[in-house]
Chains A and B, each alone.
Chain A
Amino acid sequence: RKEVEQDPGPFNVPEGATVAFNCTYSNSASQSFFWYRQDCRKEPKLLMSVYSSGNEDGRFTAQLNRASQYISLLIRDSKLSDSATYLCAVSPFGNEKLTFGTGTRLTIIP
């Protein structure tokens, strides 16, 4: 089993819709969780850190479920510019290397 798993998609979603995807992790000692966004042939850029209490940034909401060992990302009122690959990343406490999922490809359709 991979340490971090994501549904690769693609998710093709009409503009204005709400889309959500999950990322599961296998190491229960994981302490830090992130969502990165990666555009085609570009570097990953941090979208959100994921906190235990969940966090929201505009149209984006991230949640952490420790019991079931997954994190989620919800995008509301999707825009064309949201089209990208979304990578989740996890690191265990005291070890700062990030383990990434393979990413979920999202395409917003006009």
Chain B
Amino acid sequence: GAGVSQSPSNKVTEKGKDVELRCDPISGHTALYWYRQSLGQGLEFLIYFQGNSAPDKSGLPSDRFSAERTGGSVSTLTIQRTQQEDSAVYLCASSPRMIVAKNIQYFGAGTRLSVL
């Protein structure tokens, strides 16, 4: 019964570098979400994947952010040309989406990104 797995758990990078964050959802969960949480802030929605549908990218803060979900399972969030304001914990969640009105999302432990 593995939960949502994210890697790396911590990432330190230099301003201007690209980073890739990985999320492996719970097996069988069709919906996958990315959020970020800055220090002392609530979770901010970034992007949502559901099956083969076009992803909901409405939360991506800039075109430096992109995400893919290959084969309906693992997802990668890429941040290009990182800026210091990108420093945050990036959280991935998955949901079985069996009952839309009771959309329960299960979170991974997150990737703590620090941009120097």
A residues with a Cβ closer than 8 A to B are 4, 31-32, 34, 42-46, 49, 87, 89, 91, 93-103
Contacts and interface: CB of A to CB of B under 8 A. Distances in A.
Nearest to B97: A96
B100 interface: yes
A43 B91 contact: yes
Interface string B33-55: 10100001111110010100000
13 contacts: A34-B104, A43-B109, A44-B91, A44-B107, A46-B104, A49-B102, A49-B104, A87-B42, A91-B103, A96-B95, A98-B45, A100-B42, A103-B42
Interface of B: 31, 33, 35, 40-45, 48, 50, 56, 58-59, 91, 95, 97, 100-110
Contacts of B102: 32, 49
Greatest chain A CB density within 10 A among B31, B43, B106 is at B43
Nearest to B45: A97
A32 B100 CA distance: 9
Contact of B101 (A31, A42, A43): A31
B107 A43 contact: yes
A43 B105 contact: no
Contacts of B41: 102
B104 A101 contact: no
